[in-house]
Amino acid sequence: MKKNTFFTGLILLFASIFAHEIMAQPVNDACSAASSITSNATCIYTNGTVDGATPTASLAQGSCDAYSGTYAGEDVWYTFVPQYATNTVKIDGSTSIDPVLVIYTGSCGNFTEFDCNDTSGNSHATINNSNFVVGQTYYIRVYDYGSQPPSDGTFQICIMHNASGGNVDLEYESHITLDGISGHGSGDADGAAEPGEQIELPINIKNNGSNTAHNISGTLSTTDTDITINAGNFSMGDLNPNASALANGVLFSISAAAIEKDVILNLSIISDEGSFNDSFLFHINDGNISLHKIDQLIRDGNGGGVGNSNGQLDPGEDIAFEIKIHNSGASIAHNTTATLSTLDSDINITNATVAIGNIGSDSDAWAQSFAFSIYSNAPEKDVVFTLAITSDEGSWVDTFIMHINQAVAIEKLQKNEVNIYPNPTNHYLNIDIENNTEIQNIEIFNINGQMILKNTFEQNIDVSNLKNGLYILRLIGSKKIGTFRFIKK
């Protein structure tokens, strides 16, 4: 059958015109409904379209638009308030749009053209101008060149500022959480924000510009209902180029009912050179969690490690070290880890970090895989260790001291040198040592390797308070050491 190409083409033309007429108008079709765009140091695009747009009848085509016919001018609008004198406005469109980019000063219906760009036959348009007035409102108009709307009027628009050439650029850099530390704020002084605490928040402000910022002041705010700003304003004088300084005086309270979460804090900064806005995340920790070291176990050949099995630190030993951590809070600590460290040069930590997992409310967990070596020439001394504990809910730090003994040759007590009786016993354990061997200390461990008694040596030891079961007795002397078993019944 022969096709009627004339009528087919006519139908398609009317369908195209009809589709354009019923297409939804963009929200920023009118000048009075212009969308706001902010500038950034790099191009961060905002999506836009002229599909369905209507012309601004009272406005002539831009001065850069060389189209000689009756132009369609179906435009959309944006507003922009510059923070710097130099800005680049950039349009990247579909392959069917030839965008005309015009910038105006004034107000809707009473415009003065500021700048214009139409890159002929191209889907791009760019205006780079160094004469913007900081703080003044500019109107940006985008429409397609020619008399017919494009088949695809989509585009992207961005504004990039240039902070060079004598400008000021103030922004948030970092902050410090004070929750009772040295009398600043109020709380448990652990440096972690928790429900019910009052936080003093010194904020580091940085000037990324090339000129000094003068008479800086600012305000902290948030829309989060769990934060009450007690003192939100600050002032900090001048700030040189590429310099940072603390803004002090900000104070806020956290609701006692707050849950663990990140809060968005907004920062408005003002100087003589302009105004700047920034925001940052502030974490509220779970206040029902508190993790701390409560016990330890040294294995130097006794079930781990390499050494003389006396359960103490001696030069030349490899220590397998276990730490018990207690959660005294009312909530579960999730994904807990612990990291052991020391600044002592005679200690070489070979396994510093241990993953523990979850620790329940009012519960304990052992971190069992720490390992370190003691150099063979280490002198007798106390060593300061630091244990950093973290969970999804916060972080905690404990310090503790362990003693390195004087390097001596230690022999093992033989069974025929020691008589322990009665065994089993229900009250006293008697110890007789042969060959005049000097024993200074005794230690008693349960079958799990936990030390339950440490004392100076006595020949008669009262074990009546021990639960029934098997125990390990360690006798420690200056030259000899021995390990023996006994039963409490």
Query: What would the DSSP string read from start to end of 63-131?
Result: TT----S----B-EEEEE--SSSEEEEEEEE-TT--EEEEEEEEETTEEEEEEEE--TT-SEEEEEES-
- Phi, psi angle pair for 13, to nearest 5°: -65, -45
Residue 337: is its pLDDT beyond 90? yes
DSSP letter, residue 14:
H
Q: Which pLDDT tens digit goes with each residue over 422-433? A: 999 999 999 998
Question: Which strand (E) or helix (H) includes residue 12?
Answer: helix 5-22
CB atoms within 10 A of CB 125: 25
In the prediction, which pLDDT does 207 show? 92
Q: What is the pLDDT of residues 100-111, one digit of tens each?
A: 999 999 999 899
| Residue 288 pLDDT | 77
- Same fold yes or no, 170-284 and 291-404: yes
pLDDT digits (tens, 9 = 90+) for 263-284: 999 999 998 778 888 889 898 8
* Among 93, 78, 76, 70, residue whose Cα is nearest residue 24: 76
Using DSSP bridges, classify how beta strands 480-488 and 124-129 pair: parallel, antiparallel or unpaired: unpaired
CB 351 within 8 A of CB 367: no
Assigned superfamily of 291-404: Immunoglobulins (2.60.40.10)
Average pLDDT over every residue of 405-427: 83
Is residue 339 over pLDDT 60? yes
Where in the chain are the domains? Answer: 23-162, 170-284, 291-404, 411-488
Q: How far apart are alpha carbons 213 and 167 in whole angstroms?
A: 9
CB neighbour class for 81 (10 Å; exposed up to 12, middle 13-18, buried from 19): middle
Per-residue pLDDT at 22: 53
Eight-state DSSP code of residue 415: G
Biggest distance spanned by C-alpha atoms of the chain:
125
Average pLDDT across the chain, whole number:
87
> CATH second-level architecture of 411-488?
Sandwich (2.60)
Provide mean pLDDT across the span 98-126. 91
Q: In Å, what is the CA distance from 209 to each residue of 41, 74, 133, 291? A: 11, 39, 17, 44
Q: pTM higher than 0.75, yes or no?
A: no
* CB environment 145-171: b (16+ within 10 A), e (fewer): bbeebbeebebebbbbbbbeeebbbbb
CATH classification number, 170-284, choose in 2.60.40.10, 2.10.10.90, 3.40.309.10, 2.40.10.220: 2.60.40.10
Residue 189 tokens read as 């002084």
Comparing 159-173, 218-232, 296-310, 342-356, the range with the smallest average pLDDT is 159-173
Q: Does domain 23-162 have CATH number 2.60.220.10?
A: no
Q: Stretch 49-56: mean pLDDT, rounded? A: 94
Residue 3, pLDDT above cutoff 50: no
